[in-house]
Amino acid sequence: MSSSQDAPPDSNPVLSSYESFQRNTPLVTRYVLTSLTLSYALSYVIDLTWPLQNMPLFTLTRLELYRLVLAPFVCTSLISLIFAYVSLTGHGKRLEYALGSTAFGALILTIGTLTNIIYLILCVLGWAITQDIRHLAGSSVGIWTVLLGITSMECCVEGSPSKRNFFMFTVPTLYYPIALLVFIALLSGGVPFPYVISVGVGYAYGYKRFDRLKLGHVRRKRWEQTVFRKFTTMEGWAAGPSGGEWNTSTSETNNEQPWTPAIFRPSGAQPSISNDNISDTDATSFGGPGQAVGRPVQRSNIVNITTPSSGDVDRGALLAAAAEGRAAAVAPEKFYNEDDEERGQR
């Protein structure tokens, strides 16, 4: 037999690319990109825009509220699909690894749904003012309603001093979403109103106007232990922070960027005190009134209660010794006089 028959067959490049994509892409990002790809492939046979787009006329009159959630995941344009892959495989992957798959999925659904709800309200107000039915016949659809919101949120985090490259130009990071809207207007001859709303929602998230909509770590843990328990065992699942909110006020004090998970100790938990791990320059925070914050801790004032060899400390004995010490410091002469009188009587 020839050696060519003994050689293993060449691997399928398409299959290898898909396996690499599945292995290197976190779960929620992979699901979103897969749903967009399937939607684009089905658009040549069945256009999902009509049954899934957020059209106020159908969403309200027929109570088809599922359109508010599913409309962002309809893709019928190759340019939108390419932009989604570029954005989600870059910024999306980093954001999902930072927040965790549960929080990142909640963020995507919240931005898309909130954009559609605001669009629905504004369309109803326009119809109520003008009595023009065309306000109810518009539609909000496509992944841009999510991508623009995430991009705007990230640009608010980075701040205006930084800059981003936009083709041949350099624009301040804070105004990068505005440049995207101008680019869309040049390509399509106008900017869809839902895209403007999405940018506004992203800015509101970046400036912490929607803090109440964030997924807390307690609820996230509860969901991961019940509803999403099966997904936590799948390949690509990002666990996220072990505790704390994924955007907290402690991120600024820890020199962390907002929208990054900040792991912090709950306010009720106190660290154990030991002579081995406390230096003379360590600082502690005091909660009572009139006590200084950040006062250096001295070794002589620390009682080791964590090592097994130290034994049990009698709180009553300690209080009694402290009272005697204070009394001796306040009136030492009194003790000496009493001692002398006692000796004279003897």
User: What CATH number is given to the structural domain containing 111?
Assistant: 1.20.1540.10
What is the residue type of 246?
Answer: W
Q: Which pLDDT score, from 0 to 100, does residue 307 have? A: 38
C-alpha to C-alpha distance for 245 and 252, rounded to whole angstroms: 13
Q: Which pLDDT score, from 0 to 100, does residue 166 have? A: 80
> Does residue 105 or residue 339 have the better pLDDT?
105
Query: Is residue 49 in a domain?
Result: yes
Q: Which pLDDT score, from 0 to 100, does residue 139 have? A: 92
CA distances from 177 to 33, 182, 303 (A): 21, 9, 57
Q: By CB neighbour count within 10 A (0-12 exposed, 13-18 middle, 19+ buried), where does 200 fall?
A: middle
C-alpha to C-alpha distance for 205 and 95, rounded to whole angstroms: 14
DSSP state of 137: S
Q: Return the minimum-mean-pLDDT range out of 87-91, 196-200, 273-277.
A: 273-277
Query: Is residue 222 in a domain?
Result: yes
Question: What percentage of the chain carries pLDDT values higher than 90?
Answer: 33
Residue 152: pLDDT band with limits 50, 70, 90? very high
Instruction: List b or e across 116-138, with b for residues whose CB sees 16 or more CB atoms inside 10 angstroms.
Output: bbbbbebbeebbeeeeeeebbeb
CA distances from 335 to 188, 325, 331, 339 (A): 95, 12, 7, 6
Q: Return the minimum-mean-pLDDT range out of 140-154, 265-279, 318-332.
A: 265-279
Phi/psi of residue 38, nearest 5 degrees: -65, -40
3-state SS class at 212 = helix
Count structural domains, the chain.
1
Query: Is residue 308 in a domain?
Result: no
Query: Is residue 344 in a domain?
Result: no
C-alpha to C-alpha distance for 340 and 332, rounded to whole angstroms: 13
Given a cut of 60, is residue 262 above it in pLDDT? no
Arithmetic mean of pLDDT, 201-209 = 90
0.75 surpassed by pTM: no
Please identify which residue in the block is written with the tokens 């369309």.
123
Contact criterion met (CB below 8 Å) for 70 and 187: no
Q: Return the minimum-mean-pLDDT range out of 42-56, 207-221, 331-345.
A: 331-345
Q: How far is CA 126 from the centre of its chain?
A: 34
Query: Is residue 310 in a domain?
Result: no
Query: Is residue 13 in a domain?
Result: no
Read off the pLDDT of residues 1-53 as tens digits, 9 standing for 90 and up: 444 555 555 567 777 777 788 788 999 999 999 999 999 999 999 989 999 99
Query: Is residue 181 in a domain?
Result: yes
Query: Is residue 272 in a domain?
Result: no
Which one of 92-96, 114-118, 239-243, 290-294 scores highest in mean pLDDT? 114-118
Q: Which pLDDT score, from 0 to 100, does residue 39 have? A: 94
Range of the domain at 167: 26-233
Given a cut of 50, is residue 278 above it in pLDDT? no
